[in-house]
Chain A
C-alpha cells in the first residue's frame, strides 16, 4: 500500500469497482477499500437486472447468470395474477457473489489496488489532499488521495463527512429482508412480484428464481409503514402460507433506496456513486445498473480531473451532467410515479388488476397496466407519460 493515490474508492460493490476500473484504465493511481473480508459477499440484493443493464458494459459471462427471466407475474392483493411476457428485453437473476468478484478482478487487471477488511473511520481534507483514516486488519492506517469516490452504499457516511446530507426520509427507503430459499416448486424463467398493503405496504414482495427449486424470496416495506409491522413478519407469514416446504439457506436484510437521486452528490474532490448517491430506480428498487454507470462516469471524470489538475467541485459538475443525461432525469420522473402508486389502495389495485386481466394475454404489458391505473388516478397521466417518453 502506498502513502498517496490519485483516487481512493471507498466500497467494493459494482459502483466502486467500476469507478476503480475506469479510473485505472485511464492511467491514474487507484486504491479501493472494502470493509468486509470478501468482495461480493455478503450479498444484500435481489440480484435482478435487465439484460442491457449488464450488456451495455460487458458481454455477460455465463457464471454471472443464475437464471434468465422471460416473464413475470404481478400479484394483486386479492390474488389476481397479471402475467406479462418480456418481449423486447429479458432479465437476469445474477450471481452477485461471482459478478462483483469479477468486476473487482477487472479493476485490478487495469492496475487498481484492492484492499478488503478495510473499514474507513473518517476522512478529512487537509490542504489539497483527503486524508483517509481506516482500520485494516486491526491496524489503524492513513492514506492520502487527491480525489475520493464514496461507493459505500445505502448507509453511506462518506458524503456526510464531506457535508452532503445522505440520510433518507422514512418514506424514501424500503426496509428489506430476503431469504435464499430451497425445496420449492418454481418456474426458473419467471419472477413474481406481490403488491399492495396486504403483501408489502409501500413496496413489494419478490420471488426471483435462482435455479431449479430455489429462489431469492424477499420483501421491501416502506419506512413509512415499517413501524407498524416489520418486514420480517410480513415475509415469514408469506412463506409459511405460500411455500410451506421452503428451507431457508441464507438470511439477509438491508435497505433499498426509493428516493429522488441526490441533486448534488459531489463536493470538492469527492463524488458519491450508486446507492450512496440515491441512484436507484425508485419503483423497482433496481440499483446495479445505475451504480455501474455512475461508477464508470466517476472513474472517468476523476481521471480527467487529475490530468487537468483541477479536482474542484466545479470541475466535478461534469459527473452530475453525465448522470443526469443518462438516468437521473428518468429516475426523477419515476419517483413521481412511485409517489402516486404508493397512494393506491388495495381495492384500487384489485380493480386495476381485474380490468387488465380482461384483456387478451398478448395485450398485457407494463404500459397497459400503467394506463389502466391512470383511469383510477387521473393525476398519474402526466407523470406516466413523462416516464415513458423518457425511456
Chain B
C-alpha cells in the first residue's frame, strides 16, 4: 500500500515511468494508485524526487 502526500505532489509522472504493473495514473493535477494491482515493490517511493510517496 502506497500513501500519497497529494498536496505536495507535482504530478510529474516519474513514478509512472518505473511502475512494473502500471498501476499509477497521473493526470494534470491528480494521482491515483490502484492498490489492487500494486505489487508493493516501492520503486515509486524510491524514485520520487520530492518524497511524496511512502509505503505502509
Contacts and interface: CB of A to CB of B under 8 A. Distances in A.
Interface of A: 35-37, 44, 117, 119, 153-157, 160, 166-168, 170, 173, 175-177, 221, 223, 226-227, 230-232, 251-255, 257
Contact of A253 (B10, B17, B45, B46): B10
19 contacts: A35-B27, A37-B28, A119-B27, A155-B14, A155-B16, A160-B22, A167-B22, A176-B49, A177-B49, A221-B49, A223-B47, A227-B45, A231-B50, A232-B49, A251-B10, A253-B12, A254-B13, A255-B13, A255-B17
Q: Which 6 A-B pairs have the closest CB atoms?
A: A155-B13, A255-B14, A155-B16, A227-B46, A231-B49, A254-B12
B13 A153 contact: yes
Interface in B1-39: 10, 12-20, 22, 26-28
B50 A170 contact: no
A175 B22 contact: no
B27 A230 contact: no
B22 to A, nearest CB: 5
B16 A230 contact: no
Contacts of B10: 251-254
Contacts of B16: 155, 157
A119 B28 contact: yes
A66 to B, nearest CB: 22
A231 B52 CA distance: 12
B51 to A, nearest CB: 5
Interface residues of B, number: 22
Interface of B: 10, 12-20, 22, 26-28, 43, 45-51
B5 to A, nearest CB: 13
A157 B22 contact: yes
Contacts of B49: 175-177, 221, 226, 230-232, 253-254
Contacts of B19: 167
A185 B10 CA distance: 28
A254 B12 CA distance: 5
Nearest to A223: B47
A221 B51 CA distance: 13
B18 A44 contact: no
A200 B48 CA distance: 15
Given A35-B27, A251-B10, A254-B12, A155 B50 contact: no
A153 B27 CA distance: 13
A170 B18 contact: yes
Nearest to A117: B28
A342 to B, nearest CB: 17
Given A154-B14, A175-B14, A255-B13, A170 B28 contact: no
B30 to A, nearest CB: 9
Contacts of A221: 49
A44 B12 contact: yes
B28 A230 contact: no
